[in-house]
Chain A
Amino acid sequence: EVQLVESGGGLVQPGGSLRLSCAASGFTFSTYPMSWVRQAPGKGPEWVSAISGSGGSIYYADSVKGRFTMSRDNSKNSLFLQMNSLRAEDSALYYCAKGGLYAGDLGYWGQGTLVTVSS
């Protein structure tokens, strides 16, 4: 059974940093692309970043480019999102999601970790 468990969220001041983690199990992690998707309260999902199975290709939404860095450690079945220069508009529930044959076929999602950016 595919399981994705996010952690690392919390309350941070504007301009601060957080590092999110996603622990994956139930599939051959290194084979699949992964994404981070966020959802602000009362809003629809917003794709944030994607990474290939090898980690060699990474893509970002314009809204986070230059501030967020996505990475993975295939030896530990783990996904990461380093978030710097956080803004109030980054406040959201952050989900990690497993891609399929295509990176954007997000077949499995974790339960999310909440990030709140506020002074």
Chain B
Amino acid sequence: DIQMTQSPSSLSASVGDRVTITCRASQGISNSLAWFQQKPGKAPKSLIYAASSLQSGVPSKFSGSGSGTDFTLTISSLQPEDFATYYCQQYNSYPFTFGPGTKVDIK
């Protein structure tokens, strides 16, 4: 199975900050990577697929990059509604696997 790691596991940031989260796969996954945002009591929401493609309706402050084993999610200017937990997920091969999450909270 492909193992996914994320760093940091948590971060504190202020409104307006630029935030970057890193995801690493234990083996190459091409660009078969998605990013999700999850708020308490809600289902995960897909933000990005194919490493860098924005899901319909997702604001352009979210961007993704990377290929192979190393990926990043960037939020260009953090807003109050962005405080949440973010997960990466690989879908290059079964079983699909998720990273452990990065919790973004208010500084």
**A interface residues with partner B (beta carbon < 8 Å):** 35, 37, 44-47, 50, 59-62, 95, 100, 102-112
Chain A residues whose CB sits within 8 angstroms of the CB of B94 once the complex forms: 50, 59
Min C-beta distance of A115 to chain B, whole Å: 15
Let me know if A104 and B96 touch, CB within 8 A: yes
Which residues of B are at the interface with A, using a C-beta cutoff of 8 A? 1, 32, 34, 36, 43-46, 49-50, 55, 87, 89-92, 94-101
Cβ contact within 8 Å between A107 and B98: no
Q: Is the interface of A mostly helix, strand, loop or mixed?
A: loop
Complex interface: chain A residues within 8 A of B98 (CB):
44-47
Give CA–CA (A35, B91) in the complex, Å: 12
Residues on the B chain within 8 Å of A110, using CB: 43
Question: Contact at A104–B43, with CB atoms within 8 Å?
Answer: no
Instruction: Contacts A47-B95, A111-B43 known; list 19 others, CB within 8 Å.
Output: A37-B44, A44-B98, A44-B101, A45-B36, A47-B89, A50-B94, A50-B96, A60-B95, A95-B44, A102-B32, A104-B34, A104-B91, A104-B96, A106-B34, A106-B36, A106-B46, A106-B91, A107-B46, A107-B49
Inter-chain contact A95/B95, CB cutoff 8 Å: no
Partner of B95, one of A44, A59, A100: A59
